[in-house]
């Protein structure tokens, strides 16, 4: 692989400037690189502006919207039903470590998790999309913008589900979260696990390879990142989510468009699934 004169993008985890090309996939925004020093895998997406690196919340919203439009959506009611079920198990997990206090969710969307979490916590959210933030603000105070601009701090819990893989610098993102947590505050991060078997089997066809996903962690690199950013890991586990026939058909229709009309079906059926390629980390901010 040949790089521009400025060289490949350096590793966000260890700073090495000598990554190697791991693979290419039409599902990614560029070739997947691997740092030979720490093993972090990330996309060489120099021609693409990461959504959470955009100069404004409006530009972030536009970029995310363009990505989402490439995929068929679930019916709104079905999406909200599944989001509520997923919010419940996430909250139950957090409550094993912290049962009250001030909670911040970064990337809160329409506020499904905030709506449930406010039964136990004082909740706040961060969401760059003004339309989504407006809906979420019916459940809690929501800052419409990016994490780096957030004026609030002194939180007991900070949660972010499937945002870390989108940001321009996971290190800066987690350092920013650390600065908004109290010492001893709890961090909850959910992100794809490139060390799991689905990636090893599917390679460039792995379901987590989609536009906008730029950083891919395994257990080793995520643990190292958390330590680098001032956190002590408490738990790192493989997690799944609730699915339904409509969701399964929706995901299959990304490869088989003829199934899209069936994916519009909704039902009351829901069941937990865990392909093993999502991990959830719970960590504590170290003093100092």
Interval 53-82 mean pLDDT: 60
pLDDT confidence tier of residue 4, bands split at 50, 70 and 90: very low
pLDDT score at 2: 36
Q: 245: pLDDT confidence band, cut at 50, 70 and 90?
A: low
What is the predicted pLDDT for the residue at 76?
73
Q: What's the structural domain count of the chain?
A: 1
The span from the CA of 103 to the CA of 114, in Å, is: 9
Please say if the pLDDT value at position 253 is more than 60: no
CATH number (domain holding residue 250): 3.40.50.150
Question: For residue 3, is it within any domain?
Answer: no
**Per-residue pLDDT for 261 more than 70?**
no
Sign of CA dihedral 43, 44, 47, 49: positive
pLDDT of res. 52? 47
Average the pLDDT over 225-232 and give the result: 98
Has residue 39 been placed in a domain? no
Contact 128, 57 (CB under 8 A): yes
Q: Please give the pLDDT value at position 269.
A: 76
The CA distance from 48 to 165, in Å, is 14
pTM for the whole thing? 0.84
Residue-number span of the structural domain to which 88 is assigned: 72-285
Residue 1 has a pLDDT of 34
Task: Answer whether residue 92 is part of any domain.
Answer: yes
């Amino acid at each position: 692989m040949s790089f521009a004169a400025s060289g490949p993008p350096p590793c966000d985890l260890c700073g090495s400037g000598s990554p190697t090309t791991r693979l290419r996939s039409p599902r990614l925004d560029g070739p997947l690189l691997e740092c030979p020093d720490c093993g972090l895998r990330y996309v060489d997406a120099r021609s693409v502006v990461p959504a959470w690196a955009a100069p404004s919340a409006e530009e972030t919203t536009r970029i995310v919207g363009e990505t989402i439009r490439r995929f068929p959506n679930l019916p709104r009611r079905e999406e909200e039903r599944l989001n509520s079920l997923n919010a419940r198990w996430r909250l139950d997990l957090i409550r094993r470590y912290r049962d009250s206090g001030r909670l911040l969710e970064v990337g809160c969307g329409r506020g499904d998790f905030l709506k449930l979490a406010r039964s136990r916590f004082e909740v706040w959210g961060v969401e760059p999309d003004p339309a989504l933030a407006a809906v979420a603000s019916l459940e809690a105070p929501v800052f419409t913008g990016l994490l780096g601009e957030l004026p609030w701090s002194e939180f007991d819990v900070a949660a972010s589900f499937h945002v870390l893989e989108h940001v321009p610098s996971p290190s800066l993102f987690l350092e920013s979260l650390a600065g908004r947590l109290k010492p001893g505050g709890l961090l909850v991060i959910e992100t794809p696990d490139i060390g799991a078997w689905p990636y090893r089997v599917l390679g460039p066809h792995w379901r987590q390879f989609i536009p906008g996903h730029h950083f891919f962690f395994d257990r080793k690199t995520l643990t190292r990142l958390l330590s680098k950013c001032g956190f002590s890991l408490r738990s790192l586990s493989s997690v799944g989510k609730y699915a339904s026939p409509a969701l399964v058909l929706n995901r299959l229709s990304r490869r088989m468009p003829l199934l899209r009309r069936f994916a519009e079906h909704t039902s009351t059926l829901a069941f937990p699934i865990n392909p093993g390629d999502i991990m959830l980390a719970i960590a504590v901010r170290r003093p100092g």
